[in-house]
Amino acid sequence: MTLAPLTVIPAGAGSGKTHSLQEQLGTWVVDGQVQPERIVAVTFTEAAAAELRERIRAKLLALGRLDDAVRLDNAYISTIHGFGQRLLTEFAFEGGLSPRLRLLTDDEQSILIRRALARTTKVDPIMANLKGYGYSYDFNRDTTAEDAFRDDLLGFVNLLRALGAPQSGVDYAAAARDWIHQRYGQTANAKRLTTTLHKAVMALLKDFPNSLADDFGTSKSAINDLRANYDALKRASIRDDLDQDWGLWKDLSALRQTKRGCPLPSGYDERAQAVMDAAAQIATHPGPRDRAVAFVETMLAASVELLGHYETAKKEAGLIDFNDMIALAGRLLKQTPDVLHTLAGRIDCLVVDDFQDTNPLQFDLLWQLKEAGIPTIIVGDLKQAIMGFQGADPRLFAAIQAAYPKVCTPLVNNWRSQPKLMSIINALGTRLFGDQYQTLEPKGSPSPLPPLDILFFADSAKKDQHAIRAHFVAQRIQTLLEDNKLRVIDRRTKQKRPLAGRDIAVLCPTHDLLRTYAEQLRQSGIKVRLQQDGWYEDRLVEILLQALAYIANPKDRHAALYLSVTELGNLSLADALGQLIETGRIVDPLLAKLDDLADDTSEQTIYALVAALFDHLELFD
């Protein structure tokens, strides 16, 4: 029995996709249809690749296939980038590449890109008018207009690279221009719209030539609004500004009028309404559309130019980045048919996990293998697409499902969630995704916990609303943890045990909000694990790093000096420096402890060594 040329497996969360893959691949190996070292399985994270490899190995061991489990180490089970790098290494000669290409560090990549950006001149039209293109200082992020523009340009660059541009030959500028024109709709006569607004502005200023802020502002907000309105009206009195400042049109479409507690002079509201009605016609003005087209065309041209400088700099230095691992590998297979033929002869099956996170460049590489006749299994879930920031396009997976409906074999069970919760998820999924949602049959064990608790806060206008919500959530979690009758099934031992903090996750839309919840939980006596900045500045981490450095090299005088003058050491800085000057070494009881520990580290893992340091240095105290 031969393997199917293509199998598409839509697999929702908790549907057992990894288990399904390990069972299928294990069966194929036992049946002799697939050799373990001839499996190619690609994922999009190191953790997923490691889990898949170990799950397949566990299946082979369970079947008594020890030799096959060992041979699995030679299989191509890795991230998509790792697979691309392996191809470039193995076929370096055929591709005219160095077999020792070095991957750029993040810092090196940043330097090369910024150097390339400095040489790019096509951004000048936007740089000369950043405000006109919507860039200004961001007080929340503390970023300048130049920084925001630079970030957008780098975003364009990353998207183009994910699409394989500029090697693709596609005219993205023309496609973008057509897209904008189609969605913008019909436009009116620009001169007429501008004239109408200008006349309305001049009529208002004729009747009310001065700011109303001082005489009619009854509150701080009213004073600020009226001053801002007057400034906008004065700017709009200059006809040229109305021809190019679309932000000004937006300001004029929201003038302040009479409100309770803030009456304005007779006739002002009518004049202001005429200005707002005229400014609201910005939606049919061709100016913003043409500005958007100019912006996209300029950004694309600048991105292509920047990429040219960047690629040249990398080539001269013999460096590659993660994108090159895919682009160069795909180009190698396309331009060297013998390599593709050789590779196809080495592979018995191709498995692509989390296909919804594939970008066009990655798709091109993988699809060449499928087209070369390698039996291919594609697994994915459109609802779990999370790599859009890297140019991933879940529409690729949707298109494959539409093009090959006969080979789609969706997984229809859910093994993760309790049945009552699964019924809620199915109801929501059907409403959110319609026919695209695959209803999952719950197979998980019943839980003593209710499937859903809703804490509804009617008054959301209070200043400390987040802290109040976090307080009640913390109380609810504390109640659950203190319930001695509550038992959950341990995912590893499969035995019932009390609910523990590690079973609970708190999700928030922002990291600042997470800190608020963490604070409330800690005040309730509940331990919290929260990723935070400043890890390397933490006192405990600093001491651990220096202790590890000293154990790795007892001649490290900096580490010895650092440790001996901390609160764990026994020397002052003057005494420690004096010892160094006089004897070239430092003597301290703390270092003696580390010397004893260093004598027995040859067989220890880094994890065991860190644990030993906590014990020897009494760091928990």
Q: Please give the pLDDT value at position 167.
A: 64
215 has pLDDT over 60:
yes
Report the alpha-carbon distance of residue 318 to residue 332 in Å, rounded.
17
More confident residue, 537 or 210: 210
Helix residue spans in 32-123 (DSSP H): 46-62, 66-71, 80-90, 92-95, 106-118
pLDDT at 116 (0 to 100): 86
Percentage of residues in the chain having pLDDT higher than 70: 98
Which residues are 79's β-sheet partners?
43
Burial class of residue 241 (count of CB atoms within 10 Å of its CB; 0-12, 13-18, 19+): middle
Mean pLDDT rounded to a whole number for the chain: 87
Please check the confidence at residue 490 and state whether its pLDDT lies above 90: no
| Cβ atoms within 10 Å, residue 240 | 7
Alpha carbons 570 and 549: distance in angstroms, whole number:
19
Of 347, 396, 376, 362, residue with least CA distance to 9: 376
Mean pLDDT, residues 432-448 taken together: 85
- Work out the pLDDT band at 459, boundaries 50, 70, 90: low
Q: pLDDT at residue 460 above 60?
A: no
What pLDDT digit, counting tens, does each position of 491-506 carry?
A: 788 888 998 989 999 9
Evaluate whether 242 touches 198 at the Cβ level (below 8 Å).
yes
- Residue 51 confidence (pLDDT) above 70: yes
Give the pLDDT of residue 604: 78
Could you give the CA distance from residue 113 to residue 305 in angstroms, rounded to a whole number?
Answer: 11
Model pLDDT for residues 262-315, shown as the tens digit of each residue: 889 999 999 999 999 999 999 899 989 999 999 999 999 998 888 888 888 888
pLDDT value for 555: 87
Q: What is the mean pLDDT of residues 394-417?
A: 92
Tell whether the model's pLDDT for residue 389 goes beyond 80. no
> What is the tens place of the pLDDT at every residue in 158-211?
888 888 776 666 788 898 999 999 888 788 899 999 999 999 999 999 999 999
Give ∠ CA 594-531-474 in degrees, rounded to 5.
115
pLDDT band at 373, cuts 50/70/90? very high
CA–CA separation, 444 and 464 (whole Å): 39
Nearest to 315 by CA among 89, 102, 158: 102
Percent of the chain with pLDDT over 90: 38
Give SS3 for 524: coil
Give the angle 541-552-103 at the CA atoms, nearest 5°: 80
Q: Give the pairing of strands 319-320 and 349-352.
A: unpaired
**At residue 557, does pLDDT exceed 70?**
yes
What pLDDT sits at residue 169?
Answer: 65
pLDDT of residue 110: 79
Q: Which of 589, 535, 536 is nearest to 560 (CA)?
A: 589
At residue 592, the 3 state secondary structure works out as: helix
- Weakest-pLDDT range from 131-145, 156-170, 470-484, 551-565: 156-170
At residue 243, does pLDDT exceed 90?
no
Q: Could you give the count of Cα atoms lying within 13 Å of 493 in the half-sphere of its Cβ?
A: 6
Burial class (CB in 10 A: 0-12, 13-18, 19+), 459: exposed
Among residues 620, 621, 556, the alpha carbon closest in space to that of 594 is found at 556
pTM recorded for the entire structure: 0.70
- Does the pLDDT value for residue 418 go beyond 60? yes
- 226 token code pair: 């009226």
95 or 42: which carries more pLDDT confidence? 42
pLDDT, average across residues 43-65:
87
Distance CA(374)–CA(273), nearest Å, equals: 68
Nearest alpha-carbon partner for 211 in 255, 251, 261: 255
Q: b/e string for 374-409 if b means 16 or more Cβ within 10 A? A: bbbbbbbbbbebebeebbbbbebbbebbeeeeebee
pLDDT for 461 equals 53
- Residue 259's DSSP bridge partners are 262
When pLDDT is cut at 50, 70 and 90, the band that residue 231 belongs to is: very high
